[in-house]
Amino acid sequence: MRGELVLFREGRVVKAAAYRVVGEELEIELPGGGSYRVDLERVDRIVDDEVEVEPSAELREPQGVQGLSYDLTYRPQRKPLFGSRYDALIEAEAKRANVDAALVSAVIRAESNYEPRSVSRKGARGLMQLMPATARRFGVSRPFDPRANVRGGAKYLRELADRYDGNPELVLAAYNAGENAVETHGGVPPYRETVRYVQKILSWWTPALAETVEKAAAAPAK
């Protein structure tokens, strides 16, 4: 079954038949009919695909995977993670937040493909597609300013890395679906969108780990 899940900052989850952003509000259409609006600031994430796959909560980071902290000597194995006009900015803000620059670049590629004026239909904005609540949380008052947006997104990745002990699957899952979803499911939430998001970014950042994620997600439940 397809649908949308609106994940609120306070942890509440609402199943929606559809939604649309109206100014600074989100209008939620209910499966049984009717709709209502909420302040977009209250929304943590919106997950498009509710179809569940086998959960990947038991994933473990294989040995030798590049850490999440900033490392000037590290460069991704695959292009084009660097080569955008924002390379210097990404490098500087990644270093400031002590998070790997290649990971920041991979997230930007997945979120906006390096378009600073990008706006999603969910209301996420800028290079790292910050939701209004996330932007406010990290002091980003100008989400379309590349430096401000990347600074906020990198700080968020650093906070997630600290919260999840540097586990890249959980960091990326939380960036996509929110911390509440990760906590509720005890690992990567079993949303097809989120699992694919994690796999995609890891395939760019560190292919060996992405292969592990893919195999774990496809394994039958025990």
Structure tokens at 180: 């509440």
**Cα–Cα distance measured from residue 44 to residue 64, given in angstroms and rounded to the nearest whole number:** 33
Question: In this prediction, what percent of the chain has a pLDDT beyond 90?
Answer: 38
Average pLDDT rounded to a whole number, residues 132-137: 91
- Domains of the chain and any CATH numbers: 4-47 (2.30.30.100), 87-218 (1.10.530.10)
pLDDT over threshold 90, residue 40? no
Percent helix, strand and coil across the chain, each to the nearest 5: 40, 15, 45
Average pLDDT rounded to a whole number, residues 194-213: 74
Q: Which residue has the higher pLDDT, 3 or 167?
A: 167
pLDDT over threshold 80, residue 219? no
Q: Is this model's pTM higher than 0.85 or not? A: no
Backbone angles phi, psi at 80, to 5 degrees: -105, 90
Report the pLDDT value the prediction gives residue 203, as an integer from 0 to 100.
85
**Cα–Cα distance measured from residue 180 to residue 206, given in angstroms and rounded to the nearest whole number:** 26
Mean pLDDT, the chain, rounded, equals: 80
Question: Is 111 known to be catalytic?
Answer: yes
**Cα–Cα distance measured from residue 23 to residue 19, given in angstroms and rounded to the nearest whole number:** 13
Condensed to tens digits (0 to 9), the pLDDT of residues 47-94 reads: 765 545 454 444 444 333 457 887 655 555 444 567 789 999 999 999
pLDDT over threshold 50, residue 1? no
Structure tokens at 168: 């890249």
pLDDT over threshold 50, residue 12? yes
Average pLDDT rounded to a whole number, residues 160-186: 92
| 72, burial (CB in 10 Å: exposed 0-12, middle 13-18, buried 19+) | exposed
Catalytic residue among 4, 93, 111, 169: 111
pLDDT over threshold 70, residue 13? yes
Q: How far is CA 26 from CA 33, 105, 133, 173, 193, in A?
A: 16, 29, 13, 23, 20
Most confident of 6-10, 49-53, 187-191: 187-191
Condensed to tens digits (0 to 9), the pLDDT of residues 145-162 reads: 999 999 999 999 999 999
Angle in degrees, 0-180, between the axes of helices 101-112 and 87-97, rounded to the nearest 10: 120
**Quick one: DSSP state of residue 65?**
P
Q: Which residue has the higher pLDDT, 16 or 63?
A: 16
Lowest-pLDDT choice from 27-36, 98-107, 112-121, 134-143: 27-36
Q: Are 5 and 18 in contact (CB under 8 A)?
A: no
Q: Which residue has the higher pLDDT, 219 or 16?
A: 16
**Cα–Cα distance measured from residue 172 to residue 56, given in angstroms and rounded to the nearest whole number:** 13
Report the pLDDT value the prediction gives residue 27, as an integer from 0 to 100.
87
**Cα–Cα distance measured from residue 44 to residue 156, given in angstroms and rounded to the nearest whole number:** 13
